Amino acid sequence: MIETPGLVPSAATAALAADGSPTGDASRWVVGLLTAPALPSDESMAEHLVPAFPTKHPQGFSATLAEWRAMGPFTVQAYESVAHKGWIVVSGADGVRHTLSLTLDSTGLIRVLTLQPETVIPELRTWDDLEKALETPGVVHSVLAARLTPEGPVVLHERAADRSMPTGSAYKLYLMRALARAVRNGEVRWDDEVTVLPELRSLPTGDMQDLPDGTRVTVRETAYKMIALSDNTAADLIADLLGREAVERSLTDSGHHDPSLLKPFLTSHEVFEIGWGAPELREAWTGRDEAGRRALLREIARPLTVRLSDLGETVHQLGLDWHLSGHDVLRVLDGIARDSEQDATGTVEQIMTAYPGVSVDGGKWPRVYFKAGSCPGVMMFCWLLEDSAGVRHVLVLRQAADEQKPIGDGFFLRGLGARVISSGLLEADAEAAR
């Protein structure tokens, strides 16, 4: 723990101490790394980290940790835990605040651990405050906030909500709809299994790419990881199970304004391989019509040749992403909520509510669906929130740029989403909100 001698532990330290979840346990261990009497060795830390963790720190994580510790002693200033993710704000000897951010894999081991300067999120009292916060040179943004009613959505605020923009992993919502339909029609069962194969393995996020070839996983667990952990390999396994045609049907079923923008419907494996693989693949993609592009996808149905370190330049301008409008996102979220109502097993609901993305007041919002999406030059967050009276609201925040730097790591956009949700803006009367 990080405490100042002679002082009562802060509320943040107390909250960290009281969190009995796996994320709380991991967060306390991470904080302890900063104040251990001696620098922990890589061997002693290995049992807390996923096996692939050292590949991100070829010089040894202890070397990185030594640099962090040099900024101490530290004091915990804030702590937040949401499902498998934790954020600990600490201040160093010079008073500068940093955020320790960690992500657990499905076994409770730490997959991602970073320390970076704290991202300050402004308070929001009006929609104008949100718009001002989102104004960033070189970045295009879009906002949609709406209340869902039997008569249709009531828009509370929108900015370029009709604009088609890349949305990264939001495409997994269409996979979820296609899967729910297949289960409802008796074509797939939640207890069926998918098999991890080399040609279906993708890159992180997620952890299923680390499973050995031939590993069998239930559809239920795979779908959970696809949504809650945004696991790319899990999504590609579901896409393979259903078939591209079934997934493309979900575009029309969900009311996408122009399904041709997502045809052929790409897997993450295909986006990685074409976007950052051999240059001739990008040339072929941009130079072909839909039939030619489908042929190209058959040509690259092989193990991935791209590594995570190869990602850099943005490719969403080439159509190598999944383009949606804000209203498309609203409609697919609303569709999944209706799918949940038809799912007697409750599995769709369990999956969609497993990770709300931000800390949410459960008394105000007892039901929350969340999905994030990112790719170089792309960041998006969306929520469907249902209040205690059963009224549903949707919030969609999107950013796109020609490079990643002005967008950052998503902390800021996620934080703005949390501010909107806690501000009362979504509950306000539509006319007053305008």
Per-residue pLDDT of 324-362, as tens digits, reads 999 999 999 999 999 999 999 999 999 999 999 999 999
pLDDT in the model for residue 4: 34
127-433: which CATH architecture?
3-Layer(aba) Sandwich (3.40)
- Predicted structure pTM score: 0.92
Cα dist. 341→112, 165, 194, 199, 255 in Å? 35, 29, 25, 35, 19
Distance CA 15, CA 6 (A): 19
Cα dist. 412→23, 27, 65, 200 in Å? 22, 21, 25, 33
The residues spanned by each domain of the chain are 11-117, 127-433
CB 265, CB 174: distance < 8 Å: yes
Please report, as a single letter, which amino acid is at residue 77: Q
Lowest model confidence (mean pLDDT) among 92-96, 401-405, 426-430: 426-430
Identify whether 122 is preceded by a cis peptide bond (ω within 30 of 0): no
DSSP 291-317: HHHHHHHHHT-S-----GGG--S--GG
Q: Which carries the bigger pLDDT value, residue 433 or residue 165?
A: 165
Residue pLDDT, tens place only, 185-202:
999 999 999 999 999 999
pLDDT in the model for residue 273: 98
For domain 11-117, give the fold.
Answer: Nuclear Transport Factor 2; Chain: A, (3.10.450)
Query: Is 80 exceeded by the pLDDT of residue 256?
Result: yes
Query: Is 60 exceeded by the pLDDT of residue 2?
Result: no
Query: Residue 10 — pLDDT band, cuts 50, 70, 90?
Result: confident
Q: Which carries the bigger pLDDT value, residue 434 or residue 130?
A: 130
CB 96, CB 110: distance < 8 Å: no
pLDDT in the model for residue 85: 94
How many CA atoms does the CB half-sphere of 170 hold within 13 Å?
33
Query: Is 50 exceeded by the pLDDT of residue 55?
Result: yes
Per-residue pLDDT averaged across 287-314, rounded? 96
